[in-house]
Amino acid sequence: MPEGDTIFRAARTLQRALGGSTVVVFESMLPALNRLEIKGRTIVRVSTAGKHLLMHFSGGLVLRTHMRMNGSWHIYRRGEAWRRPRRDMRVVVATEDFEAVGFSIPEAELIATRDLGRHDGLRRLGPDLLGETFDSGEALRRLRERGDMTVADALLNQRILAGIGNVYKSEVLFLCRVNPFTVVAALGDRQLASIVETARRLLRANVSEGLAAMTTYTGFRRTTRRDDPKERLWVYGRARLPCRRCGTPIGISKEGTDARLTYWCAECQKPQP
Looking at the annotation, which residues are catalytic?
2-3, 51
CA 33, CA 38: separation in Å to the nearest integer? Answer: 9
Cβ–Cβ under 8 Å, residues 96 and 21: yes
The amino acid sitting at 202 is L
Positive or negative torsion for Cα 163, 166, 167, 168: positive
| Strand-strand pairing, 107-112 and 260-264 | unpaired
Q: Considering only CA atoms, which of 28, 184, 21 is closest in space to residue 102?
A: 28
Q: What is the DSSP letter of 150?
A: B
Asked if residues 19 and 100 have their Cβ atoms less than 8 Å apart, the reply is: no
Give whole-number Cα distances, 26 to 38, 75, 79, 87, 188, in Å.
6, 14, 15, 16, 51
Which phi and psi (to 5°) does residue 15 adopt? -60, -45
Tell me how long the chain is.
273
- Quick check: helix, strand or coil at residue 242? strand
Report whether 182 contacts 151 (CB < 8 A): yes
Nearby residues of 69 by Cβ (< 8 Å), 6 or more positions away: 1
User: Nearest CA to 202 among 164, 150, 161?
Assistant: 164
- Cα within 13 Å of Cα(24), Cβ side: 9
